[in-house]
């Protein structure tokens, strides 16, 4: 379904995923996205291949510290190399890609939703404490509270769509927000929106009620 995905993961995130330096929650986000996105999966596999080659060279030679051109050199190696054919696409009957089904124990019918107000529901997934992961169900046409970010938030659409000032995000799309971003996501009016959201710091809400609810909802 790559041809339908317009918002992808950055090279830096994919490189960290291949290097194994992401927290569990963000690792889950990347694994979920690449299970649907042929292009990001191919890029991740390329980084895996380059990393394997680097490890092989380290075993044989002494390696000096990395210089400022290392990132560019890595990209050049990838551009000049070969990429394995992408794996088969996910079963379209499943809303949750396989990495998420492993955490939930099934598809949507296995999710233990808890209401958080205004028809919105969430299901917090069990991951390491350095970042959090949750599934969100946002009713069609519903606007989420206006908020900023103390850290990084990644949101991937699993069903339906949402829109904010950065664009329109549908199934497979990932929005990456940092401390410079302030937005008000609104679910598409045609269908409830289900997302995977991961954060490494609490959100920064403007309204009083969301601020009060935040400590109870672990957002």
Statement: residue 77 has pLDDT above 70: no
Q: Which residue has the higher pLDDT, 112 or 71?
A: 112
The fold adopted by the segment(s) 98-217 is Jelly Rolls (2.60.120)
Specify the CATH architecture of the domain 2-80.
Orthogonal Bundle (1.10)
Determine phi and psi for 49, rounding to 5 degrees.
-65, -45
Task: Please state the domain extents for the chain.
Answer: 2-80, 98-217
Statement: residue 212 has pLDDT above 90: no
User: For the CA atoms of the chain, what is the radius of gyration?
Assistant: 19
Torsion on CA atoms 168, 185, 17, 66, rounded to nearest 10: 90
Q: Which residue has the higher pLDDT, 187 or 216?
A: 187
Single pTM value for the model: 0.76
């Amino acid at each position: 379904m790559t041809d339908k995905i317009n918002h992808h993961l950055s090279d830096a995130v994919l490189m960290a995923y291949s290097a194994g330096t992401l927290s569990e929650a963000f690792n889950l986000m990347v694994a979920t996205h690449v299970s649907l996105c042929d292009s990001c999966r191919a890029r991740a596999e390329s980084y895996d291949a380059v990393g394997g080659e680097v490890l092989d060279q380290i075993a044989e030679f002494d390696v000096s510290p990395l210089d400022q051109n290392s990132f560019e050199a890595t990209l050049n190696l990838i551009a000049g190399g070969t990429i394995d054919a992408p794996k088969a696409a996910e079963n379209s009957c499943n809303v949750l890609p396989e990495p998420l089904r492993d955490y939930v124990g099934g598809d949507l019918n296995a999710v233990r939703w808890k209401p958080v107000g205004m028809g919105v529901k969430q299901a917090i997934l069990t991951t390491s404490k350095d970042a959090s992961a949750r599934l969100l169900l946002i009713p069609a046409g519903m606007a989420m509270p206006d908020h900023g970010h103390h850290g990084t938030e990644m949101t991937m659409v699993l069903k339906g769509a949402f829109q904010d000032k950065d664009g329109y995000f549908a199934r497979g799309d990932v929005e990456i927000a940092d401390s410079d971003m302030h937005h008000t996501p609104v679910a598409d009016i045609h269908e409830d929106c289900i997302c995977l959201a991961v954060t490494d710091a609490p959100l920064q809400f403007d309204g009083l009620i969301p601020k009060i609810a935040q400590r109870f909802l672990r957002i």
